[in-house]
Amino acid sequence: MERVTLGKTGITVNKNGFGALPIQRISTEDAVKLARKAYDAGITFFDTARFYTDSEEKLGEAFEGMREKVYIATKTAAANADEFWEQLGISLHNLRTDYIDIYQFHNPSFCPKPGDGTGLYEAMLEAKAQGKIRHIGITNHRLAVADEAIESGLYETLQFPFCYLATEKDIELVEKCKQAGMGFIAMKALSGGLINNSAAQYENVLPIWGVQRERELDEFISYIEHPPVMTEEIAAVIEHDRKELSGEFCRGCGYCMPCPAGIEINNCARMSLMLRRAPSEAQLTPEMQAKMKKIEGCLHCNKCKSKCPYGLDTPALLAKNYEDYKRVLAGEVSVK
Annotated catalytic residues are 52
Q: What sign results for the dihedral spanned by CA atoms 146, 81, 154, 203?
A: negative
Please report how many Cα atoms fall inside a 13 Å half-sphere around the Cα of residue 78, on the Cβ side: 26
For 20-50, give the secondary structure using H, E and C.
CCHHHHCCHHHHHHHHHHHHHHCCCEEECCC
- The four Cα atoms 289, 295, 296, 298 give a dihedral, to 10 degrees, of 160
- Coil, strand or helix: which one is 134? strand
Query: Do the beta carbons of residue 277 and residue 196 sit within 8 Å?
Result: yes
Q: How far apart are CA 186 and CA 203, in angstroms?
A: 12
Q: 228 preceded by cis ω (within 30°)?
A: no
- Coil, strand or helix: which one is 60? helix
Q: First CA to last CA across the chain, in angstroms?
A: 36
